Structure 1
């Protein structure tokens, strides 16, 4: 059966309800920003954990870019400087990659970051039982709740990942200058540095979205009556 119409020609029923609960994207964004402001310190902790993990990833990537730039000069003295600094270079090597130890450290730091995000978001869901229950009682669909959480995670992820990637790159460049002098900065390929920063930022944003997936699913599947009862 189709939706009923009133004498004025306006539709009622399910189609009207859908129009009532389907908020525009900008309204969802506004609600997400307000939620971050209300829970600023919790959001700050989540963002800082992401900053630390992404900065370490960016540091490793840009450090390799510095070393590769020095190798590209094909200067024997620069090669010896890299070997003295701990880089494991064979006579025929023309590039530097991350060591297994560095890769494991990066993986562990990213895993710890994801676990921290999941815990923080689960606590946020617990704190927002009444808010989520009220929205669902008013007709909010599951996808609307999911959108709110993903928007919040996306904004936190973009901010934390961008800051972390830039900080990691800056510390890496400073470390290269301190160890090898200005020649390291002069020989570096800035295109590769930009790529490393972009990759670190993208990884950070992805981690933030992955970390919020399960908590957002829990919030979206929450029954309104149960949410209101738990809060009370």
Structure 2
């Protein structure tokens, strides 16, 4: 009796494909990102330190401005004269008869350049990290990882690095700004420092550093997520 040929799986119609890729929850992605940062701790530390320095300078500048504004708002003529002697520029305020401390163009450009240098360093470090992880990326994709999953891993790692570096840098910059103000103007710098403005400056410094980290990793993360598995697996270590 003739045997029937084995049943064959029908082909998918043209333009359709069977998605057999892995969708991992956010918690698992976070766990993998933490383990990856531990394995590459030295490289992660370099990225974090560059971010710490840039955010610290930004926080120092913002807190220094808050200290000067607090001294100006105190209404003391002697403190105002000391501000002028220290090199602060006083400009007319929003209301008639009021003044405010004007940020110099030099300080703004120095802050912008430091942030740009930091962003370039983050992009360079992340591109090198992608090169070192060709095999890992290829293996994950061969096992069914989505492009969005690979992108999520890099963004999570950059987010954790950015948050840690920004917090440390903002605190260092704020402390340095307060100490510098006390060295120039004595205890009055701390006495008249507006707490709300200082907290806002810390938040701005942390937010800028965190955003800078995400922007710096965007291009390398896209390169990693769009990499074909075969190309990644053929890359030499």
Q: What TM-score do you get using the length of structure 2 for normalisation?
A: 0.89
Does residue 79 of structure 2 align to residue 104 of structure 1?
A: no
- Deviation (angstroms), 1:97: 3.0
* Inter-partner Cα distance in structure 2 for 1:224 and 1:196: 45
- Count of aligned residue pairs for this structure pair: 218
1:126 aligns with 131
Q: Secondary structure of the equivalent of 1:89?
A: strand
1:170-199: CA deviation from partner (whole Å, max 9, x where unpaired): 000000001100011101101100000000
Cα distance in 2 for partners of 1:99, 1:44 equals 33
Q: Is 1:170 aligned to residue 171 of structure 2?
A: no
Structure 2: distance between partners of 1:228 and 1:184: 59
Structure 2 unaligned runs (5+)? 1-8, 10-16
Q: Give the deviation of 1:90 after TM superposition.
A: 4.8
Counterpart-to-counterpart distance in 1, 2:120 and 2:235: 25
1: CA distance, partners of 2:152 / 2:219:
13
Provide the C-alpha distance between the structure 2 equivalents of 1:187 and 1:148, rounded to a whole number of angstroms.
Answer: 45
- Do structure 1's residue 188 and structure 2's residue 193 form an aligned pair? yes
Q: 1:79, CA displacement in angstroms?
A: 0.4
Q: How does 1:47-196 map to 2 (within 5 A)?
A: 47-90=48-91, 94-196=99-201
Instruction: Summarize deviations over 1:61-107 as a string: whole Å, max 9, x none.
Output: 00000000001011110000000101122575521132100000000
2:28 aligned residue: 27
Following the alignment from structure 2 to structure 1, what is the Cα–Cα distance between the partners of residues 150 and 205?
28
Aligned 8 A contact 1:43 1:156 in 2: yes
Aligned-pair CA distance for 1:230:
1.2
Greater share of residues in helix = 1
User: Which structure: larger Rg?
Assistant: 2
How far apart in 2 are the matches of 1:182 and 1:202? Answer: 29
Gaps of 5+ in 1: 5-12
